[in-house]
Amino acid sequence: MSSTSAHDDEERPWFLAHHFDTVGQQVSAAKLGMWLFCCTEVLMFSGLFLAYFIIRTLYPEMVLGASEELNKTAGGVNTIVLLTSSFTMALGVRAAQTNNQKALERNLLITIACAFIFMIVKYFEYTAKIEHGLLPGNWYAAAEHGYMLPKYSRVFFGVYFTMTGLHGVHVLVGIGVLSWIFIRARRREFNSENYVAVENAGLYWHIVDLVWIFLFPLLYLVK
């Protein structure tokens, strides 16, 4: 800024904001902020997990019966897809760290592609549920479609759609964030000195994966 006192002899890098004194300060501030945001995501989803455990405690047989209607294969495929995307995301961050522009772009694209695959599989899962009337709350119409499910199964499907739905929203947001990072990467913004944005996007994406790691056995593999 024009009116502050003279800067250091060392040149301030272009990506160093005016209110920070060193790059290390800026990077560690950005990372701490992102980790705190990750805390908020964990706490938010924990409410849903608690609701799930309550329902499972109240109606154990109902949860057992209703969850049989979920497509375990789709769930399993989605788990592998998300784990792969986490792998490529980590590789992408590493590529930015080591000035490997090509690998960074490639890994970001694969991660985004995996996210799309996840959403497509999810789409097929949801449409199947809609066709069979296995929907939450007011839309629950299992009996009309010939499903002999335990009483209050609608509550299980309510929990199922809420948890996977909110998770799906986070995947969509992740696609947006990663696409933006990809665009910035194409503009050659990232290198071994300046890659904290990629790292932070990666942290967000790993949280999305983490939630699914717990969602999958709890919803799909009830025994």
Partner 1 sequence: MSKSKETPAAKANAPEPSYLTAKSGLMSWLVTVDHKRIGLMYLAATLFFFLVAGLLAIALRTELYTPTQDFMSAATYNKVFTLHGAIMVFLFIIPSVPAALGNFILPLMLGAKDVAFPKLNLLSFYIYCIAAVMLVTTLFLGSLDTGWTFYTPYSKSTGTAVIMATMGAFVAGFSSILTGVNFVVTVHKMRAPGMTWNRMPLMIWAIYATALIQVMATPVLAITLFLLIIERTLNIGIFDPALGGDPVLYQHFFWFYSHPAVYIMILPGFGIISELVTVHSRKHIFGYRAIALSSVAIAVISFIVWGHHMFVSGQSELAGIVFSFLTFAVAVPTAIKVFSWVATLYGGSIRFNTPMWYALVFLWTFTVGGLTGVYLGTLSVDVHLHDTYFVVAHFHYVMVGGTVVAFIGGLFHWWPKMFGRMFNETAGKISALLVFIGFNTTFMTQFFLGHQGMPRRYYAYLPEYEVMHQVSTIGSWILMVGLFTVLGTLLHAIKYGAKAPSNPWGAVSLDWQTASPPIEHNFHDTIHVTGSPYDFPEIDKSGAHH
Partner 2 sequence: MSLVYLNGKPVDHPHENHHHVSPVWQFTAVFAALVTLTILTYLVSYAGLGSASLPVAMAVAMVKASLVIAFFMHLFYEDRVYAFMFLSCFIFVAIFFTFVLFDMHTSAEMNEEAGIHYKRAVEDSAEQADTNRAFDAPAPAKAGH
> Where does this chain bind partner 2 (CB under 8 A)?
8-10, 13, 21-25, 27-28, 31-32, 35-36, 38-39, 42-43, 46-47, 49-50, 53-54, 57-62, 65, 76, 79-80, 83-84, 86-87, 89-91, 93-94, 97-98, 143, 147-152, 193, 199, 202-203, 206, 209-210, 213-214, 216-218, 221-223
CA distance 77 to 123: 13
Nearer to partner 2, 46 or 127 (CB): 46
Residue appearing with tokens 């990666």: 202
Q: Choose among 168, 166, 174: nearest CA to 203.
A: 174
Tell me which of partner 1, partner 2, none is bound by residue 13, counting a contact when its beta carbon lies within the kind-specific cut-off of 5 to 8 angstroms: partner 2
203 near 87, Cβ under 8 Å? no
Distance (Å) of CA 212 to CA 112, 117, 167, 168, 170? 17, 15, 8, 10, 11
* Range list of H helices, 59-138: 60-67, 72-97, 101-131
Tell me which of partner 2, partner 1, none is bound by residue 187, counting a contact when its beta carbon lies within the kind-specific cut-off of 5 to 8 angstroms: none
CA distance 194 to 97: 8
Minimum Å gap between C-beta 173 and partner 1 is 13
Nearer to partner 2, 37 or 116 (CB): 37
Does residue 81 touch partner 1 according to CB under 8 A? Answer: no
A 10 A CB-CB count for 90 gives: 16
Tell me which of partner 1, partner 2, none is bound by residue 86, counting a contact when its beta carbon lies within the kind-specific cut-off of 5 to 8 angstroms: partner 2
The correct pick among 90, 133, 136, 179 for binding partner 1 (CB under 8 A) is 136
CA distance 199 to 183: 15
A 10 A CB-CB count for 193 gives: 13
Nearer to partner 1, 57 or 102 (CB): 57
Chain residues that interact with partner 1, rule: CB under 8 A: 1, 3-8, 18-22, 25, 28-29, 32-33, 36-37, 39-41, 43-48, 50-51, 54-55, 58-59, 136-139, 151-152, 154-155, 158-159, 162, 166
